[in-house]
A and B are shown apart, each in its own frame.
Chain A
């Protein structure tokens, strides 16, 4: 029907090529997501907890809570 001849399309190895591309891609994407999570969420969280407990004194905390009057067993 067409007057010009189209190039012959790729006939073989389509699934293999797709798998190759997607294996590499999946590997990179999962590594990227893991790295982003570690440096975006996990490390800041660990730092926040470390900073909180660096100068934390449970006795002082307890005294403050007692003064605020939340305990029922001691005044």
Chain B
């Protein structure tokens, strides 16, 4: 119960709380879309979003937008940055930052590989029928002896590794 409360609190903070500061959509619409389905979301492969990040501007932000309609050489550095932050949610450096997600992914991949290995082991013990006669050790030994008698692949292959005088494998 405690974890469920913490989880819903985190969801509410992450979803609506941060967005209400910039309110790109009218809050009356309810939850609205979350990234990456929001109109202001940009990524490296889709860098020009449809809508600006902040659509509801207060008075000084509107004054800045009016100033933007004039010559841009009159804008100070801080004003240019403020305009960028109105238009876009994050800079390229921020949106392209790396994460630790790969560790989670690899961990889950390995975990499920291990689980599959357990299933396959169980299958080997409880499901597989007994080996055919040709796979018993005795039969395989006789098969190998016959292959050596026939001198299979005598230049580079099997018979080339067998010492026919000493009747053992070459060192």
Chain A interface residue number, banded: 10 to 19
Given the complex, which residues of B lie within 8 Å of A61, measured CB to CB? 151
Q: Does A31 interact with chain B (Cβ within 8 Å)?
A: no
Given the complex, which residues of A lie within 8 Å of B150, measured CB to CB? 65, 70
Q: Given B77, B149, B151, which contacts A69 in the complex, CB threshold below 8 Å?
A: B149
Q: Given B77, B151, B156, which contacts A65 in the complex, CB threshold below 8 Å?
A: B151
- Bound CA–CA A45/B153 (angstroms): 13
User: Which applies to chain B's interface (DSSP): helix, strand, loop or mixed?
Assistant: loop
Q: Does A39 interact with chain B (Cβ within 8 Å)?
A: no
- Bound CA–CA A52/B156 (angstroms): 10
**Contact (Cβ within 8 A) A70 B149:** yes
- Bound CA–CA A52/B154 (angstroms): 8
Q: Does B146 interact with chain A (Cβ within 8 Å)?
A: yes
Q: Does B106 interact with chain A (Cβ within 8 Å)?
A: no
Given the complex, which residues of A lie within 8 Å of B2, measured CB to CB? none
Q: Does B28 interact with chain A (Cβ within 8 Å)?
A: no
**Contact (Cβ within 8 A) B156 A45:** yes
Least CB distance from B30 to A in Å reads 42
**Contact (Cβ within 8 A) A68 B149:** yes
Q: Does A23 interact with chain B (Cβ within 8 Å)?
A: no
**Contact (Cβ within 8 A) B149 A65:** yes
Within 8 A of A (CB), among B127-171: 146, 149-151, 154-156, 164
Q: Look across to chain A and name the residue whose beta carbon is closest to the beta carbon of B77.
A: A1
Give me 18 A-to-B residue pairs in the complex whose CB atoms sit less than 8 angstroms apart, sorted by A's number: A1-B77, A45-B156, A48-B155, A48-B156, A49-B155, A52-B154, A52-B155, A61-B151, A64-B151, A64-B164, A65-B149, A65-B150, A65-B151, A68-B149, A69-B149, A70-B146, A70-B149, A70-B150
**Which B residues are within 8 Å of any A CB, using their own CB?**
77, 146, 149-151, 154-156, 164
